[in-house]
Structure 1
C-alpha cells in the first residue's frame, strides 16, 4: 500500500521567542516491510541550521536551530511510504522460557532486545503491572498468545478519553485511571511486559482511518498513533518483533506507518526543544493519512469539534 502522510505542527508564541533549538522524529522509518519513497520538511521561519542523524534506536532524527525572533513556528513533514503486511509471527516460546533467554548470566550471548527490558522515564517496572498482567500469563503459555490477550484486556478495560491524561502522564497513573489515549495504552502494556521480564518497545506512527460512508476524507483530521512491539526470542538465532495495538485490539498491518521506536514516548516525541522567550504559546497539530491513489482529501474546518 502507498500512503501519503502530512504532519503539520504550528506553534504561536506570545511574546516572541528569541532563539530556539528543536529535535524532531518526523521521518518515517525504513525497516521491516516499510519503505520511505519520499520525505520532505518545510520549516518556517527558515532555520539557521538543520541536520539529520540516527539515534541509538536506529531512528532518523532532525535537529534545527532558530536564531532570530519569531512569534510563530510551523513544521510540515510530507512523506510517501510503501507499506506491506507483516508475515505471520508463527509459534512463540512459553513466556517463562522467553524471559529466561533475556536474563543476564555469565557467558550469555548479547541480544540487543535486552535494552528494552528496563524501566524508562514514563514506564517503571512495578508490582501493580505484574498484578494486572498475571491473568493473561498462565504458566507455560506461549508468549505471543499471552501478549495478545493482554492487549485485548487493555482494550476492553480502559476507556479512550482524550482529556483524562496528557503527554507527561506516567503509566502507573494511566493504569489506576483505566483511561487515556493510545500513548497511555501503549505505556501500560509496556509496563506489564517489562515488569514480567519481557522486552517491549514503544512505537510511534500513524494509522490509516476510513471516513464515514458518504463523507470525504478530511485534511488534518487524523492524528499520531502509538502501539507496542513485543520481542519473541527464537529457539536459535535472532528473535523477531511483533507489533500489537492495544487501542484497537489488533496487530499492525499495511495500514500502519512507523515513525520511530524507543523505550517510551520521551524517546520519540514528534517535536521537542528549548526556547528562549515565548512564555505563552498555543499548539495546533493537523495530520492527514491517505492512500496515494485515493480521492483527494477535503480541507478540514479547524472549528469543527468532530475533527480536532
Structure 2
C-alpha cells in the first residue's frame, strides 16, 4: 500500500508581543476563576490517552514556573530544560512508550518531548495542546538538499492569557516560525496521526516514510 499526498501551504513569520504575557500565578488564577475560559480550555487541561502525570513529572517542571515569572518565559525555560537534559535518539521509543520511561531514560524523539512538555504544563494548571506537522530542514552550507530529508515533526502550543495560543518546539529549543508547517492540533498524538486504520493481511510489514518540503519562492 502506498499513500502519497501533496499540498501547497503558505506560512508566515509570527510576531508575538511577549511583554503582554501574564505571570504564572496570574495565568493559573484566570483559568481557574473565569468559567468561560476554563470551559474553552478544559480538554487541554485534563489527562488524555497519551498524556498523564504524577508528582515526579510535576517536580521536574516546577522550577521553571516561579509565580512571578511570565508564563511565556517559563514555557521557554521548560523547553530549554528538556532540550539540554534529554538526548534525541531515533527508534528508542514507540507510540506506546510511557512518559515516565522517557523521563527516566532522558531520551526519545519529538513526539516524546512534546508529550512530556504538555504533561508538565497541564500538571501545573496550564492549557497545552499537541501540534503535528512538518519541519523543513536546511542542508549544511555548500551542500544540496537531499530528497526525502525533511521530516514529520511535533511541538506544543500553550495558551497564554492576554496573548493567546503560542507555539514552542522543545526538541529544537526554539519558537516555531515559517519552517514549521502545521497540519493539526490535538490533545496528544492520538488525536492527529497522519494515517490511522487497520490492515488485515498475512505476513510481516515494514513502514517507510519520506517528506519533502520545497520552497516555491
User: What's the TM-score bracket when you normalise by the shorter of the two chains?
Assistant: over 0.9
What runs of 5+ residues in structure 1 fail to find an aligned partner?
A: 1-72, 294-308
Asked if the contact 2:61/2:78 (under 8 Å) is kept, the reply is: yes
Q: Give the one of 207, 217, 222 matched to 2:150.
A: 222
* Matched residue, 1:212: 140
CA RMSD of aligned residues (A): 1.5
SS of 1:291's equivalent?
A: coil
Find the counterpart in structure 1 of residue 27 from structure 2.
Answer: 98
Structure with the bigger percentage of strand:
1
The gaps in structure 2 that reach 5 residues or longer are none
Q: For residues 110-129 of structure 1, what are the structure 2 equivalents within 5 Å?
A: 110=37, 111-129=39-57
Match of 1:83 in 2: 11
Q: For the structure 1 residues 89 and 173, does the alpha-carbon distance in structure 2 shift closer, same or farther, using more than 3 Å as the test?
A: farther
Q: Paired residue for 1:274?
A: 198
Q: Give the SS at the match of 2:3.
A: strand
Higher helix share: 2
Q: Name which one, 1 or 2, has greater alpha-carbon Rg.
A: 1
**Distance in 2, Cα, partners of 1:135 & 1:279:** 50
Is the 1:92–1:233 contact (alpha carbons within 8 Å) kept by the matching residues of 2?
yes
Query: Is residue 201 from structure 1 mapped to residue 125 from structure 2 by the alignment?
Result: no
TM-superposed deviation, 1:273: 0.3
Shift of 1:162: 0.7
Counterpart secondary structure, 1:250: coil
For residues 152 and 211 of structure 1, the distance between their equivalents in structure 2, rounded to whole angstroms, comes to: 24
1:213 CA drift (Å): 2.0
Q: Secondary structure at the match of 1:289?
A: coil
Query: What's the CA shift for 1:121?
Result: 1.1
Contact 2:137–2:149 (8 Å) recurs in 1: no
Q: 2:35 aligns with which of 108, 125, 132?
A: 108
What's 1:231 paired with? Answer: 159
How many residues are aligned here? 215
Q: How much does 1:125 deviate? A: 2.7
Q: State the Cα distance separating 1:279 from its structure 2 match.
A: 4.5
Distance 1:153 1:201 in 2: 19
TM-score (norm 1): 0.67
Contact 2:130 2:186 in 1 (8 A): yes
Correspondences of 1:68-79 after superposition (within 5 Å)? 73-79=1-7
Q: Structure 1 residue runs of 4+, over 3 Å off?
A: none
* Within-5 A mapping of 1:231-270: 231-234=159-162, 240-270=164-194
Aligned to 2:95: 167
Higher relative contact order (CA 8 A, sep 6+): 1
Of 157-166 and 276-285, more deviation after overlay is shown by 276-285
Which of these residues, 189, 203, 207, is aligned with residue 117 of structure 2?
A: 189
Q: CA deviation at 1:150?
A: 0.6
Partner of 1:42: none
Between the aligned partners of 1:102 and 1:274, the Cα distance in structure 2 is: 39
1:195-231 per-position Cα deviation (integer Å, ceiling 9, x unaligned): 0010000001111111112221122122100001011
CA distance in 2, matches of 1:109, 1:76: 41
Residue of structure 2 equivalent to 1:63: none
